[in-house]
Structure 1
């Protein structure tokens, strides 16, 4: 599997591309995973979902920008919500934000911020229901993420509910948006709308928790921890003691509990996918590839609980290829998908331990 192309940094050249090519190049620059999965979607969904991801990535770029203080991030997040909702003032927004980006922001994201006017023009070429779904997601994400800028995350989050909330703002609301787009695309899918919307939040949380667990040590090097202290209270470990050199059985036991919780969310992601019509193989593969890669990542973490760098639990390209092949072969069969999931996730549950999640207020 080839990696993403180098992003086109000549904005004039980028803007000469047709909309589909324009979004494809941007996706390849900012996310190899989504550049791989989004093209599996039917043509009627591709433009909207690709655009949605780029909008979310713009919010991420604002939140991650080290040169912006908390107030500036709030300012730009509020401004971006209005730009997405109305389609107005995209040029002035991009012109104000672009010069503030530091060299720590990757070149592809610099390009993305500079072409915000074109991205927003594509947003407002969609129909009203699609625009509404995208705008609601951006509003939830852009209002929720700055909350965490004000927190001291050296000692982690206080509770699992706090982690649930964070995952909702950065991923669960994206799952909801995708479910809305899928339901808008197909009356057959819309017949399961209520259940899909509920499961979509869990789907997003499972993927986000997997990323958090994979990146524990990268975050620790920055003095940041997204883990919930109450889970580790049960094992007697204080997250204030977490450092890149931590080697503690109590910490690993808490990590096992979080893997168990993430596994439960991924089980819901499988149920979500199985509710989609079997003939919609493109949408199913879009879901299955993300689900499969998350399961394999959790499995690798569980097998290497003493890892101390994300590279040690990164799945190989061969594993990605195997996930793609297996998903394509089994996509139409719910029975085969359950079998594959159960085989690949064997050992992820923690014996004699059960977490009862609290429903998120955003659902």
Structure 2
């Protein structure tokens, strides 16, 4: 697989100069790039690295002197990471899954397989499941009964799709993702210590031994178009209503979405985020790694939560938050600065006490 510089530039909507007929087969760091590689040097900081490599063509920052860098061709891009998205899309062939259905796949007679779908070895597709056109399903994937997978989806190795889940077009699930497992929902016959301590903020009262009774999950998971789910991420089905993930939302590795959550469109949910049940997350929300979300709260549109933030209360739209518990980011930073000053303040107070004691004769 190779592309000319002209084709690369056209796909990016960018300007190209020099010998645009040069063909490249892969992208590379500038210093290690060879003659058939496209060097990615989209910042002036990489200029010297281009000279150190052997690339004939590179993607450069606007205004770069490509000839001075010893190049035969160049593509100029104003926004580096947007260009990276286009270049990596063009050069990534994805997992190799042979066309058609592998002989070892087990597909229920009532399942519907769309035209052009590729189904790898040891895949199981349950009763009445629907697989969209041109979907690609890698080895050891299971799709349970009545599940629906949209067109052009990609399910990587070991993905599990639970019963009755409805998933949109162009869905991507990385290895080991589990969509539609039961929610974690249990109750005791009488009020538990957990419930009492939540009301009283700490006092459990008289503790009575009780066992947990399971609340079964009758809902499913509904996922929009162009959603991506990372490796070993888990999305639980709803108890009664469905758990919902909006169009174009992206979940990182090891994310856990609890039962009944509703997540909006175009959200970024980074690694190890955990959401308890029945919360509502708005559109375009970004949660950095290891954020935690309490149950039954609302996070508005366009909220940005810094890494390891713990969100216990409703968050209005547009707010930037950080901390444990999460507060406005500027407030958290000021609080942190104050905490760092505490040892110095304590020493100053101790000196003041000594001075006052001497002045009052109480030394």
- The structure where strand makes up a greater share of residues is 2
**Do they superpose with TM above 0.5?**
no
Task: State the TM-score, normalized to the length of structure 1.
Answer: 0.23
- The structure where helix makes up a greater share of residues is 1
Specify which structure has the bigger relative contact order, considering alpha-carbon pairs within 8 angstroms and separated by 6 or more residues: 1
Task: State the TM-score, normalized to the length of structure 2.
Answer: 0.23
